[in-house]
Each structure stands twice: as structure tokens, then as C-alpha cells.
Amino acid sequence: MAIEHNEMVALLSELECRTNFTIKKVTEYMLPKLKEPFYLYLDGKQPQLVIRPAYEVFKTDFAELAGVNPKNQYCHYSEMTRFPKRVQKSVNGIHYGLAFSFDDQAAVKAFIEKLIVINQG
């Protein structure tokens, strides 16, 4: 059973991820003690964490974590303002990143820990 949105919010708080803002379906977070943004995006009822497209080189590493499910396509959302833009349907482009869904809380913890290690690397 996939993790629910309220569980994800509580877990990110427990992991000391800081919230910057929430607009519609997206909440911007920062990794603990680091200035690295990521987003909690609510796709229907399924919460997803979205990271910078620059992490694509680590996508396989994330996919190997138990319960972590990378999405095949980029996640596009205009409110993910700290991410680069890419032209998809609009002339000006739209912010995008790599989205992941999770089977349980342990998968989210492992994902955040891996992201911290990569950023400290």
C-alpha cells in the first residue's frame, strides 16, 4: 500500500526537512541542514517527491532502494520555481524534475538519506 499524503508530511517533518511554502498541489522543502530544494507533489491522491533533473545520473541508485518507484516521465509544474524550465507545451517552458512514489515510510527515509549523502558528496 502506497504512503499517504499526511503520512509523508509528518515523516518529512520528523526527518527535519524544512517547509518553505505550499501552493495548490506542491510543497517546497529543503533537506535538513542543506540548501537543496525538493518538492512534495500530490498527483491525484498519490504523494510524490520531486528532485532536480540534474539527479538523473542517480536515478538507478534511487530505483534500487526498496519501495522507491521512479516515474518514467518528468514531473512538470509551474510552482517548482527552484528547478530549471523546459519547453513542453508552453512557449516559455515549465519547471520540471524527477518524480518518485513510495511504498512505505522506510522507502521515504532511505530516499531522503540517499539524497543527503549525494549532496554532501
> Could you give phi then psi for residue 115, rounded to 5 degrees?
-65, -40
Rounded to whole angstroms, the Cα distance separating 26 from 42 reads 6
Residue 1: what pLDDT? Answer: 64
For the cut 90, the answer to whether the pLDDT of residue 107 exceeds it is: yes
Structural domains of the chain sorted by starting position, each given as residue range(s) with its CATH number in brackets: 5-120 (3.90.1150.40)
pLDDT per position as a tens digit, 24-46: 899 999 999 999 999 999 988 89
For the cut 80, the answer to whether the pLDDT of residue 121 exceeds it is: no
pTM (whole model) above 0.85: yes
Q: Cβ of 38: how many Cβ atoms within 10 Å?
A: 26
